[in-house]
Amino acid sequence: MIIKLDPENISSRDQIILIALDLFGQRGYSNVSIRQVCTQAKVNVAAVNYHFGSKDKLYIAVADYVSSQLMQHLNADIEAANAVLEDTNNQGAQALEVLLHIVENTVDLLVPDSEESERWARFITRFQLGEAVPDHALLKNPMLHIIAQLIGVIKNNNTDTLENAILAQTIMGQVLIFRVSRVSAMINLNIDGFGQAETEKIKHVIRQNIITILTLG
Protein backbone atom coordinates (compact mmCIF):
# COMPACT_ATOMS: atom_id res chain seq x y z
CA MET A 1 0.00 0.00 0.00
CA ILE A 2 2.51 2.56 1.14
CA ILE A 3 5.96 2.30 -0.30
CA LYS A 4 8.49 1.44 2.36
CA LEU A 5 11.82 2.73 1.15
CA ASP A 6 14.81 0.55 1.84
CA PRO A 7 16.18 1.99 5.07
CA GLU A 8 19.71 1.03 4.05
CA ASN A 9 19.88 2.95 0.80
CA ILE A 10 17.54 5.78 1.66
CA SER A 11 18.78 9.17 0.51
CA SER A 12 19.03 12.21 2.76
CA ARG A 13 16.37 13.85 0.63
CA ASP A 14 13.86 11.06 1.13
CA GLN A 15 14.72 10.72 4.80
CA ILE A 16 13.93 14.41 5.30
CA ILE A 17 10.60 14.07 3.52
CA LEU A 18 9.52 11.11 5.63
CA ILE A 19 10.46 12.76 8.90
CA ALA A 20 8.91 16.05 7.84
CA LEU A 21 5.68 14.25 6.92
CA ASP A 22 5.51 12.87 10.44
CA LEU A 23 6.41 16.07 12.25
CA PHE A 24 4.32 18.46 10.14
CA GLY A 25 1.36 16.11 10.58
CA GLN A 26 1.79 15.81 14.32
CA ARG A 27 2.53 19.41 15.27
CA GLY A 28 1.76 21.57 12.25
CA TYR A 29 4.05 23.43 9.89
CA SER A 30 5.02 26.37 12.05
CA ASN A 31 5.51 24.27 15.18
CA VAL A 32 8.23 22.24 13.52
CA SER A 33 11.68 23.74 13.05
CA ILE A 34 14.13 22.81 10.34
CA ARG A 35 16.52 21.83 13.11
CA GLN A 36 14.04 19.34 14.56
CA VAL A 37 13.52 17.73 11.17
CA CYS A 38 17.24 17.51 10.51
CA THR A 39 18.10 16.14 13.93
CA GLN A 40 15.50 13.40 13.62
CA ALA A 41 16.50 12.67 10.03
CA LYS A 42 20.15 12.54 11.09
CA VAL A 43 21.30 15.11 8.55
CA ASN A 44 22.90 18.51 8.84
CA VAL A 45 20.82 21.67 9.40
CA ALA A 46 21.78 22.95 5.98
CA ALA A 47 20.49 19.82 4.25
CA VAL A 48 16.93 21.09 3.98
CA ASN A 49 17.94 24.24 2.19
CA TYR A 50 20.41 22.35 0.08
CA HIS A 51 17.90 19.77 -1.14
CA PHE A 52 14.71 21.82 -1.18
CA GLY A 53 15.70 25.49 -1.11
CA SER A 54 13.60 26.54 1.86
CA LYS A 55 11.27 25.28 4.57
CA ASP A 56 8.27 26.31 2.45
CA LYS A 57 9.52 24.28 -0.49
CA LEU A 58 10.13 21.28 1.76
CA TYR A 59 6.51 21.54 2.84
CA ILE A 60 5.35 21.57 -0.78
CA ALA A 61 7.60 18.60 -1.53
CA VAL A 62 5.97 16.67 1.30
CA ALA A 63 2.52 17.61 0.02
CA ASP A 64 3.48 16.46 -3.49
CA TYR A 65 4.73 13.19 -2.07
CA VAL A 66 1.56 12.62 -0.06
CA SER A 67 -0.57 13.53 -3.05
CA SER A 68 1.15 11.03 -5.35
CA GLN A 69 1.05 8.26 -2.77
CA LEU A 70 -2.61 8.95 -2.11
CA MET A 71 -3.49 8.77 -5.80
CA GLN A 72 -1.68 5.47 -6.01
CA HIS A 73 -3.68 4.21 -3.07
CA LEU A 74 -7.02 5.30 -4.55
CA ASN A 75 -6.22 4.08 -8.04
CA ALA A 76 -7.94 0.68 -7.85
CA ASP A 77 -11.16 2.15 -6.47
CA ILE A 78 -11.19 4.90 -9.09
CA GLU A 79 -10.81 2.40 -11.91
CA ALA A 80 -13.57 0.19 -10.50
CA ALA A 81 -15.86 3.19 -10.27
CA ASN A 82 -15.08 4.34 -13.80
CA ALA A 83 -15.82 0.86 -15.12
CA VAL A 84 -19.29 1.06 -13.62
CA LEU A 85 -19.81 4.64 -14.79
CA GLU A 86 -18.81 3.82 -18.36
CA ASP A 87 -21.13 0.85 -18.51
CA THR A 88 -24.12 2.41 -20.26
CA ASN A 89 -26.71 -0.18 -19.28
CA ASN A 90 -25.67 -0.60 -15.69
CA GLN A 91 -27.91 -0.96 -12.70
CA GLY A 92 -27.93 1.13 -9.58
CA ALA A 93 -27.07 -1.93 -7.51
CA GLN A 94 -23.59 -2.12 -9.00
CA ALA A 95 -22.98 1.57 -8.44
CA LEU A 96 -24.17 1.33 -4.85
CA GLU A 97 -21.84 -1.56 -4.20
CA VAL A 98 -18.85 0.36 -5.56
CA LEU A 99 -19.81 3.43 -3.57
CA LEU A 100 -20.09 1.45 -0.34
CA HIS A 101 -16.73 -0.11 -1.03
CA ILE A 102 -15.10 3.28 -1.54
CA VAL A 103 -16.57 4.68 1.65
CA GLU A 104 -15.56 1.66 3.72
CA ASN A 105 -12.06 1.86 2.29
CA THR A 106 -11.93 5.48 3.32
CA VAL A 107 -12.99 4.62 6.86
CA ASP A 108 -10.26 1.98 7.04
CA LEU A 109 -7.70 4.47 5.78
CA LEU A 110 -8.63 7.42 7.96
CA VAL A 111 -10.32 6.30 11.14
CA PRO A 112 -8.43 3.49 12.94
CA ASP A 113 -5.66 4.22 15.39
CA SER A 114 -2.56 3.17 13.53
CA GLU A 115 0.75 4.88 12.98
CA GLU A 116 0.54 4.51 9.25
CA SER A 117 -3.03 5.77 9.05
CA GLU A 118 -2.38 8.74 11.28
CA ARG A 119 0.82 9.72 9.51
CA TRP A 120 -1.08 10.44 6.30
CA ALA A 121 -4.38 11.54 7.72
CA ARG A 122 -2.95 14.16 10.04
CA PHE A 123 -0.86 15.79 7.36
CA ILE A 124 -3.75 15.93 4.91
CA THR A 125 -6.12 17.26 7.54
CA ARG A 126 -3.78 20.06 8.54
CA PHE A 127 -3.04 20.79 4.92
CA GLN A 128 -6.70 21.15 4.06
CA LEU A 129 -7.55 23.19 7.12
CA GLY A 130 -5.25 26.11 6.76
CA GLU A 131 -1.71 25.25 5.90
CA ALA A 132 -2.76 24.71 2.34
CA VAL A 133 -0.86 25.75 -0.73
CA PRO A 134 -3.45 27.37 -3.01
CA ASP A 135 -4.55 25.15 -5.90
CA HIS A 136 -2.49 22.21 -4.72
CA ALA A 137 -3.78 18.82 -5.87
CA LEU A 138 -3.98 17.65 -2.27
CA LEU A 139 -6.86 20.04 -1.72
CA LYS A 140 -9.02 18.12 -4.14
CA ASN A 141 -10.57 14.84 -3.12
CA PRO A 142 -10.88 12.99 -6.45
CA MET A 143 -13.32 10.57 -4.87
CA LEU A 144 -15.99 13.19 -4.34
CA HIS A 145 -16.65 13.76 -8.01
CA ILE A 146 -16.82 10.02 -8.59
CA ILE A 147 -19.20 9.54 -5.67
CA ALA A 148 -21.43 12.29 -7.02
CA GLN A 149 -21.57 10.49 -10.38
CA LEU A 150 -22.31 7.15 -8.70
CA ILE A 151 -25.16 8.82 -6.81
CA GLY A 152 -26.53 10.01 -10.14
CA VAL A 153 -26.59 6.43 -11.39
CA ILE A 154 -28.10 5.03 -8.20
CA LYS A 155 -30.84 7.63 -8.01
CA ASN A 156 -31.36 7.36 -11.75
CA ASN A 157 -30.74 11.04 -11.87
CA ASN A 158 -27.94 10.94 -14.31
CA THR A 159 -26.79 14.52 -14.18
CA ASP A 160 -23.90 16.09 -12.40
CA THR A 161 -25.87 18.56 -10.34
CA LEU A 162 -24.80 20.61 -7.36
CA GLU A 163 -27.28 18.65 -5.30
CA ASN A 164 -25.56 15.36 -6.05
CA ALA A 165 -22.22 16.93 -5.19
CA ILE A 166 -23.58 18.18 -1.88
CA LEU A 167 -25.01 14.76 -1.14
CA ALA A 168 -21.61 13.22 -1.91
CA GLN A 169 -20.02 15.71 0.47
CA THR A 170 -22.43 14.88 3.28
CA ILE A 171 -21.66 11.19 2.79
CA MET A 172 -17.92 11.75 2.99
CA GLY A 173 -18.49 14.15 5.85
CA GLN A 174 -19.84 11.29 7.92
CA VAL A 175 -16.47 9.59 7.54
CA LEU A 176 -14.11 12.55 7.63
CA ILE A 177 -15.52 14.00 10.83
CA PHE A 178 -14.01 11.13 12.80
CA ARG A 179 -10.57 12.09 11.54
CA VAL A 180 -10.85 15.83 11.42
CA SER A 181 -12.54 16.32 14.80
CA ARG A 182 -10.89 13.25 16.23
CA VAL A 183 -10.25 14.42 19.78
CA SER A 184 -13.65 16.00 20.01
CA ALA A 185 -15.32 12.84 18.65
CA MET A 186 -13.54 10.67 21.19
CA ILE A 187 -14.79 12.85 24.01
CA ASN A 188 -18.33 12.93 22.67
CA LEU A 189 -18.40 9.17 22.08
CA ASN A 190 -16.76 8.56 25.46
CA ILE A 191 -14.11 6.27 24.00
CA ASP A 192 -10.33 6.16 24.43
CA GLY A 193 -9.49 5.57 20.77
CA PHE A 194 -10.58 4.04 17.51
CA GLY A 195 -9.86 0.32 17.77
CA GLN A 196 -11.27 -2.37 15.56
CA ALA A 197 -14.55 -2.60 17.46
CA GLU A 198 -15.23 1.13 17.20
CA THR A 199 -14.16 1.28 13.57
CA GLU A 200 -16.47 -1.57 12.62
CA LYS A 201 -19.39 0.06 14.41
CA ILE A 202 -18.72 3.33 12.60
CA LYS A 203 -18.55 1.52 9.29
CA HIS A 204 -21.83 -0.24 9.99
CA VAL A 205 -23.68 2.94 10.91
CA ILE A 206 -22.40 4.84 7.87
CA ARG A 207 -23.17 1.90 5.59
CA GLN A 208 -26.77 1.77 6.79
CA ASN A 209 -27.08 5.54 6.46
CA ILE A 210 -25.89 5.47 2.85
CA ILE A 211 -28.13 2.57 1.86
CA THR A 212 -31.13 4.24 3.46
CA ILE A 213 -30.46 7.64 1.94
CA LEU A 214 -29.79 6.40 -1.57
CA THR A 215 -32.41 3.67 -1.89
CA LEU A 216 -35.27 4.86 0.33
CA GLY A 217 -34.77 8.62 0.24
Partner DNA sequence: AAATAATTCAAACAAACGTTTGAATTAAAC
Partner DNA sequence: GTTTAATTCAAACGTTTGTTTGAATTATTT
**In angstroms, rounded to a whole number, what is the distance separating the alpha carbons of residues 178 and 206?**
12
Indicate the residue among 12 and 36 with the shorter CB distance to its own copies.
Answer: 36
| Shortest Å distance, C-beta 166 to its own copies | 5
54 binds, among DNA, its own copies, none (CB under 5 to 8 A by kind): DNA
**In angstroms, rounded to a whole number, what is the distance separating the alpha carbons of residues 20 and 37?**
6
CA distances from 17 to 4, 38, 45 (A): 13, 10, 14
126 binds, among its own copies, DNA, none (CB under 5 to 8 A by kind): its own copies
Enumerate residues 6+ apart whose C-beta is below 8 A from 81: 98, 99, 102, 146, 149, 150
| Shortest Å distance, C-beta 80 to its own copies | 20
Catalog residues that contact DNA under the rule CB under 7 A. Answer: 11-12, 32-36, 43-51, 54-56
Decide: 23 and 40 in contact? Cβ < 8 Å. yes
43 binds, among its own copies, DNA, none (CB under 5 to 8 A by kind): DNA
Indicate the residue among 32 and 154 with the shorter CB distance to DNA.
Answer: 32
177 binds, among its own copies, DNA, none (CB under 5 to 8 A by kind): its own copies
